[in-house]
Structure 1
Amino acid sequence: MKTIFRNTFIIIFGSAVFYACGTEKPKSNPQPEPQPVQKVQTVASSGKYSKGDQVPNETVCMVNNAYMGKKQMEVPHNGKMYYGCCEMCVKRIPNDKSVREAVDPFNGKKVDKANAYIVMISDDGEVAYFENEENYKKFLAQNS
């Protein structure tokens, strides 16, 4: 019985020493590995809409402010509908007021993205939010 116990102890202890020696010790203050930035792929080149066009609200990721070319995930909040491209966006919209609002480039007023007139402002799908179509037309006239 003593022999079995001793042999078992030696095997377990030896395995533990081997394991400990074969693994790297953690650094005292390890720095987190930098995570790659995930670039949102837009499909502005789909041909359906181009720079200067109004785009349907449901085709815009309202967190990334990007035309995505297809209907996004619906995020209802306070009786309004917002849209996000991924689960992170869906979770962020109800909890972060800043992603539900934008500034109208014409008059500088805050605009609720759920009610905005959304226009694609770049060839890569970036969008701007206007209070209404009239503000967008005035903005165009002012910046021509």
Structure 2
Amino acid sequence: MKKIKMLKEVFKSNLNWTRKEKHVLLGIGGFIFAFVIGFFGYLFYLQNSVNKAFDSQEGKEIQHSRVCMVNGDIKLHSVRSVTVNGKTYWGCCQHCISLLRYNTAQVRFTTDPVTGKRINKADAVIFPDPHNSRRAMFFQSDSTYEQYVHR
């Protein structure tokens, strides 16, 4: 019981701040609030910029060097390359490069969604997925992509 009374008195004594101390605390609180708002505003700006970058490539062929050929992600920058049997493949990390180098689970190949033929990703024509502009789709040729889009 005595401890509770002591805590109440200590707490009460700290609430008797001077006007100057209150202004300092209010200023610090305002600064923190402005910083948080600015930080989240900047994140929103970055997200919109990235979305615009991906949306602007819709329907355009994607450079092989911007696609991780293991997971099909389109990147805003070039990814790492590995040459196997004279063909260049691209991966976003060392793990993906290793999978491509050793062709684990046949990752160097995929199926054209229109013809159903097995194609080598290094030879494929790459376009963004019309339903998700951050994912790549591999096609045998430009004409199979056009057939896919106009189905």
Do these two structures clear the TM 0.5 threshold for a shared fold by scoring above it?
yes
Letter in 2 for 1:47: A
Q: Secondary structure at the match of 2:126?
A: strand
Aligned to 2:113: 105
Equivalent-residue separation in structure 1 for 2:110 and 2:141 (angstroms) = 13
Aligned to 1:74: 81
Equivalent-residue separation in structure 2 for 1:52 and 1:81 (angstroms) = 24
Structure number with the bigger relative contact order (C-alpha 8 A, sep ≥ 6) is 1
Q: Would you say the 8 A contact 1:75–1:90 is kept in 2? A: yes
Letter in 2 for 1:110: R
Over 3 Å counting, the alpha-carbon distance change for 1:44 and 1:134 in structure 2 is farther
Alignment partner of 1:116 out of 124, 128, 139: 124
Structure (1 or 2) with the greater helix fraction: 2
Over 3 Å counting, the alpha-carbon distance change for 1:81 and 1:46 in structure 2 is farther
The alpha-carbon deviation at position 69 of structure 1 amounts to: 1.4
Aligned to 2:51: 45
Q: Secondary structure at the match of 1:67?
A: coil
| TM-score normalised according to structure 2 size | 0.60
The alpha-carbon deviation at position 46 of structure 1 amounts to: 5.3
- The 5-angstrom pairing of residues 1-144 of structure 1 reads 45=51, 47=53, 49-95=56-102, 96=104, 98-121=106-129, 122-141=131-150, 143=151
Structure 1: where are the runs of 5+ without partners? 1-42
Equivalent-residue separation in structure 2 for 1:66 and 1:44 (angstroms) = 14
Alignment RMSD, CA only?
A: 2.0
Q: Would you say the 8 A contact 1:44–1:125 is kept in 2? A: no
The alpha-carbon deviation at position 53 of structure 1 amounts to: 2.6
Over 3 Å counting, the alpha-carbon distance change for 1:78 and 1:97 in structure 2 is farther
Equivalent-residue separation in structure 2 for 1:114 and 1:44 (angstroms) = 26
| TM-score normalised according to structure 1 size | 0.63
Structure 2: where are the runs of 5+ without partners? 1-48
Q: Would you say the 8 A contact 1:44–1:124 is kept in 2? A: no
